[in-house]
């Protein structure tokens, strides 16, 4: 069975594990039988511009390092030089410049924090009222739609990123009230001819949900969505490729039998059956 992981982080990411070198990730990829790996280190444009993290993303060094392993593992492992462009609409000029600085083969667009609000991962949803959570999620969808509209994106990642932390806080999110907005989001994805990511980090972390959930993947399918990418969101070699098969099972249940891959700069659909 074709196996790929199109959402991975190395130590070039502010939150990457020190053991997560490109080479260590490739070795692990071969060990677990991956056919493709896409490196997608964080470039959260607001954090870069405002200097929020301990160290900035060294795009030049990261790209050189990706190219090195791409060459080294040629014929054994398909390596994609990518990036996770976070919060692009918050600083569009800087985000555009970052994408133009290197010939990235795969670009994840994502939203980790609302405008002028810290990353959802730093929030304690357990202490929030249901009403507060609903308001934040509504804003998150609005700003995710803006991310989907940003030029140069290959796939829109973990559209329910906030749901990971809501779940960790012991709270539930009912998506029904957001169906109209979600449909708007999905139509934007389809119109822009980009893919939607199923992020399985929450599966291997034991939260019992994928990002987005099966329910929301079905809504995407019902809206006419057909392009999906899949990623573990591993930040260390030991987590690479985890729960990808579980993600495939969810996709197949919903009716997606192929995932988007990138080969020679072209989008190629690979069967996951």
Sites of contact with Zn ion (CB under 5 A): 15, 110
Instruction: Report the nearest approach of Zn ion to the CB of residue 158 (Å).
Output: 6
What are the DSSP calls for the chain, one per residue? Answer: ---EEEEE--TTSTT--TT--HHHHHHHHHHTT-SEEEEEEEEEHHHHHHT-SSS---HHHHHHHHHHHHHHTTTT-EEEEEEEEESGGGSHHHHHHHHHTTT-SEEEEE-SS-TTS--GGG--GGGS-HHHHHHHHHHHHHHHHHHHTSTT-SEE--TTHHHHHHHHTT-----GGGHHHHHHHHHHHHHTT-EEEEE-HHHHTT-S--BS-HHHHHHHHHTT---EEEE--BSSGGGTTTTHHHHHHHHHHHT--EEEEEETTEEEEEE--
Instruction: Report the nearest approach of Zn ion to the CB of residue 1 (Å).
Output: 26
> Which residue, 15 or 215, is less far from Zn ion as judged by CB?
15
Instruction: Report the nearest approach of Zn ion to the CB of residue 224 (Å).
Output: 25
Apex 153 CA angle, 6 and 136, nearest 5: 90
> Which residue, 15 or 100, is less far from Zn ion as judged by CB?
15
> Which residue, 73 or 217, is less far from Zn ion as judged by CB?
217
> Which residue, 84 or 105, is less far from Zn ion as judged by CB?
84
> Which residue, 59 or 269, is less far from Zn ion as judged by CB?
59
> Which residue, 20 or 110, is less far from Zn ion as judged by CB?
110
Instruction: Report the nearest approach of Zn ion to the CB of residue 150 (Å).
Output: 15
Chain position carrying tokens 């795009």: 59
Instruction: Report the nearest approach of Zn ion to the CB of residue 71 (Å).
Output: 26
Instruction: Report the nearest approach of Zn ion to the CB of residue 199 (Å).
Output: 8
């Amino acid at each position: 069975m074709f196996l790929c992981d199109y959402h991975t982080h190395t130590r070039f990411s502010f939150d990457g594990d020190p053991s997560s070198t490109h080479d260590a990730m490739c070795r692990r990829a071969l060990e677990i039988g991956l056919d493709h790996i896409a490196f997608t280190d964080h470039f959260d444009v607001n954090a870069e511009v405002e200097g929020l993290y301990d160290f900035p993303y060294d795009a030049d060094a990261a790209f050189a390092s990706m190219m090195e392993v791409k060459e080294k593992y040629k014929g054994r492992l398909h390596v994609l030089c990518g990036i996770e462009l976070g919060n692009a609409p918050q600083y569009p000029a800087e985000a555009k410049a970052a994408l133009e600085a290197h010939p990235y083969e795969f670009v994840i667009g994502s939203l980790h924090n609302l405008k002028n609000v810290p990353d959802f991962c730093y929030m304690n949803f357990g202490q929030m009222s249901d009403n507060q959570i609903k308001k934040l999620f509504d804003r998150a969808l609005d700003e995710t739609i803006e991310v989907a509209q940003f030029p140069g994106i290959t796939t829109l990642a973990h559209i329910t990123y906030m749901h990971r932390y809501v779940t960790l806080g012991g709270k539930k999110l009912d998506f029904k009230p957001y169906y109209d907005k979600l449909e708007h989001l999905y139509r934007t994805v389809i119109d822009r001819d980009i893919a939607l990511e199923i992020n399985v980090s929450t599966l291997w972390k034991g939260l019992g949900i994928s990002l987005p959930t099966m329910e929301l993947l079905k809504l995407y399918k019902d809206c006419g969505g057909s392009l999906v990418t899949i990623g573990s969101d591993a930040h260390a070699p030991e987590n690479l490729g985890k729960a990808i098969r579980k993600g495939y099972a969810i996709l197949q249940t919903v009716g997606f039998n192929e995932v988007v891959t990138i080969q020679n700069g072209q989008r190629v659909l690979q069967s996951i059956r």
